[in-house]
Structure 1
Amino acid sequence: MDDSLKYIRVAVEFNTRNLYTYAISEESLGKIKRGSRVLVPFGKREITGYVEEILDNKDTNGYQIKEISFVIDEEPLISDDMIRLCHWASEYFLSPIAFFYRCAYPPGSNFASSLKIAKKEEIKVDEYFPLLSDKEKELLNIIEDKKAVTVKSLKKKYNFKNVYTLISKLREKGIIESFQKIGKPKISEKLATIICRGENFDEAENRAKLGSNQLKLIELIKKEERVEFSIASKITGITHNSLKSLEKAGFIKTDKIRIYRKPDYEISTEHETSLKLTSYQAIAFQKIIEAIDKAKSTVFLLHGITGSGKTEIYLQLIQYVLSKGKNALLLVPEISLTPQMLSRFRARFGDKVAVLHSSLSYGERYDEWYRIYNGKAQIVIGTRSAVFAPIGNLGVVVIDEEHDDSYKQEEIPNYDAREIALKRAEFESIPVVLGSASPSIESYYKAKKGEYCILSLPERATGIPLPIVKLIDMKREKNKVISKELRETIQESCRRSEQAILFLNRRGYNRIVQCYSCGAILTCRDCSVSLVLHRSDNLLHCHYCGALSKKPPLCPLCKKEKLKGIGIGTESLEAEIKEILKGKRVQRFDKDALTGKKSLSAILETFKKGEIDVLVGTQMLSLGHDYPNVTLVGVIAADQELNFPDFRAAERAFQILLQVSGRCGRSNLPGISLIQTYQPDNYVLEALKNHDYESFYEKEILFREKFKYPPFSKLINITFSGIRQVEVKKTALSFKSVLKEKISSKTVQILGPAEPLRWKIRGKYRRQILIKYTDEPQAVKKALDEILKNEFSRKKGVMISIDVDPVNLL
């Protein structure tokens, strides 16, 4: 054993729960501690790892221990508190700790390596060609034209399969060599050149040889003292070469400073000052600030009807927290869908606000992260990943629309930002505010049991009544998409110069393309879903993998010219409304209509100005929008939400329909929500008609209790996926067998393995095992942890994903 080397245990960015031992020099050892990032060799590549443990000594048992490549961070960028939170999340959600560390580090800052191959210089390929297979020859021809080729490009650009086998054979024959190329992080600091006076500045004006642009710059510096080069260039036309000659003569000096890339958001002037709270708002506000003052980790469920002023409470709570020298974290379900909320916070708090969400560029996210880390922002507003923001000295955590499923991440690491936020607040002894007009069943159940403190806002802040909700029985409409009543109400709304919102939670023109001769439905080659016809590009879209294809002229099965589009989407609804309202301004508002970074804000701003009469859209319409001239909401197909094959379908339907109905009647103009349905007697719609969350909850909780669904049990969904269907099925059966040996409790049910509704996604077949348990959560998780670390630590060909507290079982 080399005494000059020490050893560390590292969590690598790979889907494994195990830690790996690496050697490290004594010099490098002095630069690291727990949580530090290191680049390590792992298999055929080098990946980012996180130091978990520094070993006193290590008996190598004669094995060759790989040495780390280098230390990325000499000081961890995450605090001990964040390391503690990441460990809790890893244990609770049974996802690798390295992935949670990655969530906590600056986005885009990881190093990565790529495997490259090249032909050996001394090799003459012609001599080897008779000994090679066709694929080996093809690979060599590509390599000969280039100095070196990445394996990634061979797989993606040149569509090579089994590329590692080919590389291995060519390497054994001595024809090629392979090596790792370590790439730089995607993002780094952005630096700007600052120009100021030099030692000889006063002599500059007397130099006759200076150009006009240079003289303009001298005059600009006289006025401004310091100016950024990019600004100076626009004003004076100065070039880099002209700048260098001025600097060489000592007329000016330049320096590099860091600048932050900031997201471009509009700031409202309507909400710069605090509004007077209603009596209900004031009671809620007072109870929360008492918990803030006492540093208690109380959880408040702020149950307020649509328009009740929850956002104003958030604003004033955060203002109170800042006055106490503390910071605040506000989580929202989809930041890009709530420009009004962000605008209000910017107006009230200015640059104290930092924003974190996936729609920002990598550079913007990187710099916003560092603004928070460096203490330049005291308020963080963001989507689920913002729960890991490096903001210290927190005073309050607010989770807006706490019922929203987008707080749950459904890819590795599978985590629920709500649970992590609650645990973070508990660790830091601060209150959490969960806000919603339609709380999740689990949250309301906890409030009823006294685990959460419930605060009610039963009235709109303006005193304006809630909109009338009317159910339209579509059984009487003879298969019409838009009922007579809804059609006439839309027309009347436009005649009064009022605005309407039409909700249909399905994108595209036709949801299905079917042959009406043999009945075949066009489906995605790589996913077990039907293809959706979009008229905007006249292509068939898969909404799961993104594949595009042309609509065939003939049915692929029976070869007849009988293909027909069935089912309505937002595109066809938009077309029908335009036909009904000739000359009126109709705009679609869904993912496909947003063609650029600012298109969402542009559409909403146009709607706010009254330049759109009818907005047709999906779930994007339901949250955070407040437009005083909207008097009508039309729900085209409520049954699509009700009939989803999931135990949460009723809850989701009530929540989304309540939210979208609440978009109208928010000013002195009365509002009406018309909901088209074939099930007008459904208890969800009956409760919705009366804006009665309580009656909905009472019926829904009985169903949950009867069938032992959450909150009366806990769920863990285990998904197996791979390109070989037989191997996936075999692995799932084997996993269940091992699991049953480790868990024998009667309070634990192991269901499956079974094919989910979406049994194939992106070319990978899927099987699921569902664990339902009412007791012994630690025993269940311990058994799964042991299996993942031992029997199934690295199962080749099959990906195993653990989803604790799943929100989607499809």
Structure 2
Amino acid sequence: MPEYCDVALPVPLDMTFTYKVGDAAPVVGGRVLVPFRTGREAGIVTALHDEAPSMKAKTVLTAIDAAPVFDEVLLKLGEWIAQYYLAPLGEVYRTMLPLMAEVKKAWSYSITEAGHAALFEGATLGSSRRSKKTADEQMLEYEVLNYLTNAEDGAARESSIRSATGATKDILAGLVKKKWVTREDVSSLRDASRTVKVAVLCTKTPEGAEPSGRKLNDNQQVLLVALTVAGGRAPVDELNKLAVPRSTLQTLVRRGLVEIVEEAAAFHVSGSEIRSPLDFTLNGAQQAALQAVNQAVEAKKFSVSLLHGVTGSGKTAVYLAAMQQVLAAGRSAILLVPEIGLTPAMAANLHRVFGEQVAILHSALSNDERAEQWHRIHDGAARIVVGTRSAVFAPVQDLALIVVDEEHDSSYKQEETPRYHARDVAVMRGKLSGAAVILGSATPSLESFHNAQKGKYQLIELRERVEQRPLPEVELVDLRLEYQQTGEEHIFSRRLMEEVSDRLARKEQAIILLNRRGYSAVVLCRTCGETIQCKNCAIAMTHHKGSPRLECHYCGYRLPVPKLCPKCQSEHIYFLGTGSEKVEEELHRAFPQARIGRLDRDTVRGRHDFERVLNQLNAGDIDLLVGTQMIAKGHDIHGVTLVGVVGADFALGFPDFRAAERTFQLLTQVAGRAGRGTTPGKVILQTYYPEHYAIQFAQQHDFNGFAAKELQYRRWMHYPPFSAVANVLIRSDKLDLALRYSGELGKWFERTRAENVRVMGPSAAPIVRLKRDYRYHFVLKAQSREKLNGLLRAMVKFAESQKIPRTNVIVDVDALSLL
């Protein structure tokens, strides 16, 4: 066994750390628990060697894994992500491995001699008037010290201290700072297996008596009857819901009538009630697409195909049929979807086709559930994986196919370190694994479409809907003319109201899209003009009427709805703008008999809320569904014949070169929800920009026309896909530091001219303050990704040399948002 190992730790430092192996037996690609600074961290072993470091090395505490959790491909993929996206390798590996549940973080506190002296002084002299803390806070400190004095060995876990004394983390941190107590990391491994306690009936009790002849009381009989009805076994949690004391069950256990056993907890795959896309026969275009995909898979070589099919053309059926072929060959496949909300429906489809071979990975699962699913995949029990962007790291065996559904969706880009794009990572993983990659969308990203035009990707097209169903007719309503003709500004145009009334009369369903949640977008004072803004962000607070509250949609800060202006104390508070909550209210007023549902971030709190609403829509229990962009993606609801777009062209006014592309994609996608059944659909698109080319091409369902026009503009302005773009964001909670850091980097960029790399900035970010941080940024454009990466890497090194903290410099390669 080599004497040393290099470990990648989840810290914001671009380096690995060398440790002595000691008595542990680490493996490359496996996890180890190591001491780091004053605590403990779990990291990934990247190398084993005998080369001693220049300083004394600490020793590995324990090897968590006997076998690697990352194979060679995943280790290389992590290295590529760290290199390409300029992210610390340890943070990349932490993102790739959802096993945090297997390491239990814990801290232990011990009283020092100084702490004993302080406790004695406090007992004899009382609280100190010189202290900046209140008398109550000082009493809490003495309670902690007293608790530790009486604890075994003068030490106790943080959880025990806080439970017994009511001390906060700030109180404990203050004691450490005073050196009255010391803190030690005692993190350890834990079993993340999910289990449930089940009560099992051991013996039957005729006529309410035990074999000994002792009578059972009423509560005991209720429990025994419930167990008998349940077949002799039932989860303890279900029995606890009965109207009997919990001690009753323990009494039955002591008497030997019931036994408590632990069993593996069941995993809820999906509650979605859907039609399988394989319920119909593939048409000629689908069969041709399937044949092209199967040929790519059977070649066992890396390839990328762009499956461009109009909405409702049956792309999902092609995916599932291809995955059937992969599974039949004993190989594995990964299917990525952009939103957690799409996962249940897709998982239901997959589970119906592939049974227990399906595993699910997404952020709405608990840590224990993610660990359980990961181990099923790693052990080969599941060969089909469906999930959001993190599922691209699933440790499947013999990977044959990766499908990225709705590949254009911005949800695939992670907005925190590491800022990877799952679509591009999928392509790289396919390259490293020799697998076929399928990118599917009705509105492909211009980057992917351009690659297909150049021949870098194979282009597979589905130009018609299944069963020759027509694409919905799109009717534009010019809101400028609407206002001129009515003299009033309304949320809904007259044409939209007519069409909704018509659909309700015919017992059909409709979807209304407004891509803005809440009730009112802005709250201002009519007297002084003050807009109520978030205290942490340079953003107006959004009014939510149902709660009621004002909320910042960026940081989550909340305020009660004011009755007076906080600046001038005027009572003339005015609510401006419209959100999905207001749309729902107006629809209830206009159509009081209609059954109306809403789907946005306010109504979807838990992971089952999305399933519940969509199941109601599928079952015909909802007539009108109001929602944000969440309702526009991939849902197959056959009863929907009308889509009303109330406001989706706001984005055209954003300072973002992708604004037109995003608007076209959103309008096309939401239009695609109409007419997916036997009844033709219609779309009413309300807009203030009817002449804009994104609106015009969306009306005509003409992706190729839009792409040609937009690519022309991108070529002229040297934006992607004709150049690589990076956004360098400088942030600090202190304005002077943010200005100083951005100024220093700006001067460095001026001195360091890179060929064919254009640096714009520094300038204030469009949202200059966000989550308490002041923000300034540089936008870099380059013809060569290699030169761009080199310049960014040199910039990071310069920032480090100037003692600019790594966490204050955010590098976003291939940035999707410049806000």
Same fold (TM over 0.5): yes
Where in structure 2 are the equivalents of 1:485-496 lying within 5 Å? 485-496=495-506
Matched, 1:285 2:290: yes
Letter in 2 for 1:488: E
- Per-residue displacement from partner, 1:218-267 (whole Å, max 9, x unpaired)? xx99x99x9788599899x99567657769xxxx999866x254125236
Where in structure 2 are the equivalents of 1:653-732 lying within 5 Å? 653-732=663-742
Take 1:67 and 1:520, find their aligned partners in 2: how far apart are those partners? 59
Residue 158 of structure 1: how far off its partner (Å): 8.0
Where in structure 2 are the equivalents of 1:82-161 lying within 5 Å? 82-107=74-99, 108-114=101-107, 116=109, 118=111, 120-121=115-116, 123=118, 124-126=120-122, 130=128, 132-135=130-133, 140-146=138-144, 147=147
Distance 1:158 1:783, change over 3 A: farther
Take 1:797 and 1:803, find their aligned partners in 2: how far apart are those partners? 13
Residue 617 of structure 1: how far off its partner (Å): 0.7
SS at match of 1:591: coil
- Per-residue displacement from partner, 1:670-705 (whole Å, max 9, x unpaired)? 211011111111101111111000110011001111
The corresponding residue for 1:430 is 435
Take 1:536 and 1:89, find their aligned partners in 2: how far apart are those partners? 43
Residue 209 of structure 1: how far off its partner (Å): 7.4
Distance 1:783 1:36, change over 3 A: farther
Q: Is the 8 A contact 1:517 1:562 kept in 2?
A: yes
Q: Is the 8 A contact 2:39 2:185 kept in 1?
A: no
Residue 788 of structure 1: how far off its partner (Å): 3.4
- Per-residue displacement from partner, 1:499-539 (whole Å, max 9, x unpaired)? 11110000011000011222211100001110000011111
Letter in 1 for 2:761: G
Residue 368 of structure 1: how far off its partner (Å): 1.4
Take 2:272 and 2:622, find their aligned partners in 1: how far apart are those partners? 22
- Per-residue displacement from partner, 1:403-446 (whole Å, max 9, x unpaired)? 00000001011111111111111111111111100000000000
Distance 1:153 1:245, change over 3 A: closer
Distance 1:700 1:187, change over 3 A: farther
Q: Is the 8 A contact 1:46 1:113 kept in 2?
A: no
Letter in 2 for 1:553: K
Q: Is the 8 A contact 1:45 1:115 kept in 2?
A: no
- The counterpart of 2:184, out of the listed 171, 174, 180, is 180
Take 1:272 and 1:451, find their aligned partners in 2: how far apart are those partners? 30
Distance 1:590 1:72, change over 3 A: same
The corresponding residue for 2:14 is 17
- Per-residue displacement from partner, 1:117-158 (whole Å, max 9, x unpaired)? 75734541425955853139775432222336859989xx98
Matched, 1:800 2:800: no
Take 2:667 and 2:143, find their aligned partners in 1: how far apart are those partners? 59
- Per-residue displacement from partner, 1:462-520 (whole Å, max 9, x unpaired)? 21100001111111122222111111111121111111111000001100001122221
Q: Is the 8 A contact 1:104 1:390 kept in 2?
A: no
Take 1:670 and 1:116, find their aligned partners in 2: how far apart are those partners? 69
The corresponding residue for 2:193 is 189
After TM superposition, the structure 1 stretch with the greater mean CA deviation from structure 2, 135-144 or 690-699, is: 135-144
- Which structure 2 residue ranges, 5 or more long, are not aligned? 149-156, 203-208, 484-488
Distance 1:597 1:797, change over 3 A: closer
Q: Is the 8 A contact 2:510 2:640 kept in 1?
A: yes
Q: Is the 8 A contact 1:337 1:620 kept in 2?
A: no
Residue 603 of structure 1: how far off its partner (Å): 1.5
Take 2:598 and 2:210, find their aligned partners in 1: how far apart are those partners? 63
Matched, 1:393 2:398: yes
- The counterpart of 1:311, out of the listed 296, 301, 316, is 316
Distance 1:211 1:714, change over 3 A: farther
Q: Is the 8 A contact 1:722 1:797 kept in 2?
A: no
Matched, 1:548 2:554: no
Distance 1:211 1:744, change over 3 A: farther
Take 1:193 and 1:686, find their aligned partners in 2: how far apart are those partners? 60
Take 1:475 and 1:619, find their aligned partners in 2: how far apart are those partners? 24
Take 1:21 and 1:132, find their aligned partners in 2: how far apart are those partners? 46
Q: Is the 8 A contact 1:723 1:797 kept in 2?
A: no
Distance 1:611 1:725, change over 3 A: same
The corresponding residue for 2:625 is 615
After TM superposition, the structure 1 stretch with the greater mean CA deviation from structure 2, 471-480 or 654-663, is: 471-480
The corresponding residue for 2:790 is 782
Q: Is the 8 A contact 1:503 1:617 kept in 2?
A: yes
Letter in 1 for 2:14: R
- Which structure 1 residue ranges, 5 or more long, are not aligned? 199-204
After TM superposition, the structure 1 stretch with the greater mean CA deviation from structure 2, 335-344 or 359-368, is: 335-344
Take 1:540 and 1:643, find their aligned partners in 2: how far apart are those partners? 24
Distance 1:528 1:197, change over 3 A: closer
After TM superposition, the structure 1 stretch with the greater mean CA deviation from structure 2, 34-43 or 656-665, is: 34-43
Distance 1:256 1:158, change over 3 A: closer
Take 1:563 and 1:510, find their aligned partners in 2: how far apart are those partners? 12
SS at match of 2:133: helix
Take 1:425 and 1:704, find their aligned partners in 2: how far apart are those partners? 28
The corresponding residue for 1:38 is 32
Q: Is the 8 A contact 1:736 1:753 kept in 2?
A: yes
Equivalent pairs counted in the alignment come to 779
Distance 1:233 1:630, change over 3 A: closer
The corresponding residue for 2:151 is none
Take 1:233 and 1:612, find their aligned partners in 2: how far apart are those partners? 34
SS at match of 2:589: helix
Take 2:680 and 2:213, find their aligned partners in 1: how far apart are those partners? 74
The corresponding residue for 2:307 is 302
Take 2:584 and 2:277, find their aligned partners in 1: how far apart are those partners? 37
Residue 287 of structure 1: how far off its partner (Å): 1.1
Take 1:272 and 1:684, find their aligned partners in 2: how far apart are those partners? 31
Residue 281 of structure 1: how far off its partner (Å): 0.8
After TM superposition, the structure 1 stretch with the greater mean CA deviation from structure 2, 587-596 or 259-268, is: 259-268
Distance 1:403 1:125, change over 3 A: farther
Distance 1:630 1:158, change over 3 A: same
Matched, 1:474 2:506: no
Distance 1:125 1:752, change over 3 A: farther
- Per-residue displacement from partner, 1:50-85 (whole Å, max 9, x unpaired)? 22333413254xx55433443333433222221111
- Supply the RMSD in Å over aligned alpha carbons: 3.6
Letter in 1 for 2:81: A
The corresponding residue for 2:513 is 503
TM-score, length-normalised on structure 2? 0.87
Matched, 1:403 2:408: yes
- The counterpart of 1:456, out of the listed 454, 458, 461, is 461
- Per-residue displacement from partner, 1:137-181 (whole Å, max 9, x unpaired)? 775432222336859989xx98888996x556511xxxx021224
Letter in 2 for 1:715: V
- The counterpart of 1:762, out of the listed 764, 771, 784, is 771
- The counterpart of 1:533, out of the listed 543, 561, 573, is 543
- Per-residue displacement from partner, 1:759-802 (whole Å, max 9, x unpaired)? 21211111212221112x33432343355357517744962222
The corresponding residue for 1:201 is none
Take 1:738 and 1:21, find their aligned partners in 2: how far apart are those partners? 32
SS at match of 1:593: coil
Distance 1:641 1:788, change over 3 A: closer
The corresponding residue for 1:70 is 62
- Per-residue displacement from partner, 1:185-232 (whole Å, max 9, x unpaired)? 68711346799999xxxxxx9975799899x99xx99x99x9788599
